[in-house]
Structure 1
């Protein structure tokens, strides 16, 4: 899946300020100098205990005198932001190094801007930048998963009272990002597969979003084709070169979605994560499966053969993941199905960029026709041909 175009577009995005300063390459994390960082001012490491044990950069930062916040977990809440923000208030770091998946990076991005009280959190989530820190620490994002794009996006996904909320402002974007393929090689499939699905959904949605620009559309198309090419081979087969290329492609998808923002597949996904604990990337894939079919029915010109191929790749990986026990369909029906549809339709900030209007009746019809959200084990049995083509 090698694509010089991926790297060229990433460099162009960084040059025009649409992405952080990027350091990319296998082993790039080793180029960061922990002693130089700590000599320039206090450093706070935001990373799980597992990351500290397994990633030399994390251990080296602590050895150089960095402070550590390790209470990270998927789908951070506004209470998590308050806890980390209070530590930032106490230590006043000059730099935050966030090492982990999208949740860890989003937590660091939000906490460095928002003050540790609910009024500041609420104001920030409403877009009131006056409530944010006037001189926040810089963030260096070091992703350990290929997929979320959090290392380049100007927004952070959080949860409050089991509902998704978003901090969205230019200052949310990290100042630097380190794309080191060696850090994604050891990610377990229960983390790496949904992250990859999230990235491919980003690429597809950014390509059809009404808010796309020529630059974001090009980035979305190139990222989409690179990711689909990667999915043409079994996911477990990944060498050093493939890992770096995959991370770069998913980051490029992040630069596209940072401009166009997500659309209906993401709008409908958040309820699945908040209500049933389905990992975000799997939730996006389950929603994308029927959303793409709905769009193809309403506006077939938008769903080109390559877009359809990307959607089929998403369904194939999702079906494989369900058979492998990585995720299970929520089996929506009755009131549970209606709650899912209502929650998605209420996310107007995301639906506003979708190319067609989705109403309650058509959503219900396409969800049930598609099957991934309603059948036991999703649509894996009904889609056995997808698994055969994947093997």
Structure 2
């Protein structure tokens, strides 16, 4: 169950619980949610000791906080990190998790504790996905289970107003890239493609307005587009741009959505070349181009570069320090092969290197 809810409905749901673990970062203090939901009540026990890339140790602390407070519900308010910690705290609530673990252990039984989510950034749509990210010894791992899908989510479009431009633009670009990858993914379904096309069409149309001069209508559209990107990616998972982006964002200290957009721009041409004798694949690309209001791979690439430029973000890899054969080789060798299996065409080492070429 993953249902949309409003403030009144959420307040009624939370009233059923005597103790609630509130997982939130600093973004909560810049909103009026505290007043709307009376979060100063002693029923809410706040957990905020986490970083942007949640570590094993932070998940252990969250799991322990869940038990110590005897919470019977989790409320996550924030970006993808706060939501991921909520999911993982639930996943490991009744199971062992140790600082000596080198990979995320499987949980034989999952707690039935409900998760309520209010995203404050609109990008990954993690309020509607059943997977979460954690880092062990600086390596990224993904934990997936149907039972960690949040029970209810609340979309408050106004929450994006207080975000820094970089955070806002990067999150929005992440949603756009997720939708494009979901649409062409091998595991796409009719429903996932419908959600993906909605996201692509609306972000392409409203991206500049959203980051520069947003209105309530634009904020609402982007919040919905982000959520539908999450629903699409929950079915299909991601493809090559995401697989390559994690190394870029960590190694060159740029935000995730920024890195994904940079990795996406050259893939249109690679896919187009490999689709020459594939009618279905060519039609998929045409659908994406139409949603972006462009005509081909070159103009799709230019649109991504244009979006990055409008947000004041680097679009060329040499601008962030990724240049030269050795560094490109490192980026290529970092890729998660499992994620590449979901990419619609087979990518060889030469193709992967082309992704990091500027121009």
TM-score (norm 2): 0.86
Q: Residue 157 of structure 1: SS of its match in structure 2?
A: strand
Partners of 1:151 and 1:358 lie apart in 2 by: 31
Aligned to 2:23: 46
The corresponding residue for 1:356 is: 345
Give, in whole Å, the separation in 1 of the partners of 2:150 and 2:16: 21
Correspondence 1:134-213 to 2 at 5 A: 134-213=110-189
Does structure 2 conserve the Cα–Cα contact (< 8 Å) formed by 1:29 and 1:57?
Answer: no
Cα distance in 1, alignment partners of residues 191 and 101 from structure 2: 32
- Post-superposition shift, 1:165? 0.8
1:49 to partner: Cα distance: 3.6
Q: How far 1:276 moved relative to its partner?
A: 2.4
The count of corresponding residues between Structure 1 and Structure 2 is: 340
CA change 1:222–1:93 in 2 (3 A) is same
Structure 1 residue 31: Cα displacement: 5.2
Q: CA deviation at 1:196?
A: 0.3
Gaps of 5+ in 1: 1-16, 372-378, 380-391
The Cα of 1:272 is off from its aligned counterpart by 1.2
Q: How does 1:323-334 map to 2 (within 5 A)?
A: 329-334=320-325
Of stretches 251-260 and 155-164 in structure 1, the one that deviates more from structure 2 is 155-164
SS at match of 1:98: strand
| Deviation per residue, 1:126-145 (Å, 9 max, x gap) | 6x331x5x424211010001
Per-residue Cα deviation, 1:149-190 (whole angstroms, up to 9, x for no partner): 110001012222222210111112111100111212221112
Mapped partners of 1:226, 1:268: distance in 2: 25
Using the alignment, how far apart are the partners of 2:100 and 2:32 within structure 1? 34
1-side partners of 2:33 and 2:229: how far apart? 28
Are the counterparts in 2 of residues 38 and 66 from structure 1 also a CA contact under 8 Å? no
* Structure 1 residues 60 and 324: alpha-carbon distance in aligned structure 2, compared to 1, 3 A threshold: farther
Matched residue, 2:97: 117
Paired with 1:354 and 1:230, the residues of 2 have a C-alpha distance of 27
Q: Which residue of the partner structure matches residue 305 of structure 2?
A: 315
Question: Which residue pairs with 2:331 in the alignment?
Answer: 340
Instruction: Find the aligned partners of 2:178 and 2:218 in 1 and give their Cα distance.
Output: 20
Aligned with 2:290 (options 285, 297, 306): 306
Distance 1:64 1:343 in 2: 46
Query: Could you tell me which of 260, 264, 274 is aligned with 1:288?
Result: 264
Alpha carbons of 1:39 and 1:330: their partners in 2 closer, same or farther (altered >3 Å)? same
Q: CA-atom RMSD, angstroms?
A: 2.6
- Secondary structure, aligned partner of 1:212: coil
> What's the CA shift for 1:30?
5.9
In structure 2, the CA distance between the partners of 1:303 and 1:324, relative to structure 1 (3 Å rule), is closer
Q: Does the 8 Å contact 2:258/2:313 carry over to 1?
A: no
Residue in structure 1 matched with residue 227 of structure 2 by the alignment:
251
* Higher alpha-carbon deviation: 224-233 or 195-204: 224-233
Mapped pair 1:55 → 2:32: yes
Where structure 2 has 5 or more consecutive residues not aligned to the other structure, the ranges are 277-281, 295-299
State how far apart, in whole Å, the 2-side matches of 1:46 and 1:277 are: 25
CA deviation string 1:70-89 (max 9, x = no partner): 12331212222111111112
Cross-structure match for 2:80: 102
Matched position secondary structure for 1:272: helix
CA 96–21 in structure 1, closer or farther in 2 if over 3 Å, else same: same
* Change over 3 Å in CA distance of 1:43–1:121 after alignment to 2: farther
TM-score (normalizing by structure 1): 0.80
Contact in 2 for aligned 1:158/1:165 (Cα 8 Å): yes
Match of 2:237 among 258, 261, 268: 261
What CA distance in whole angstroms lies between the structure 2 residues aligned with 1:324 and 1:275? Answer: 15
Q: Could you tell me which residue of structure 1 aligns to residue 204 of structure 2? A: 228
What is the alpha-carbon distance in structure 1 between the residues aligned to residue 312 and residue 212 of structure 2? Answer: 16
Distance 1:181 1:324, change over 3 A: same
CA distance in 2, matches of 1:214, 1:120: 43
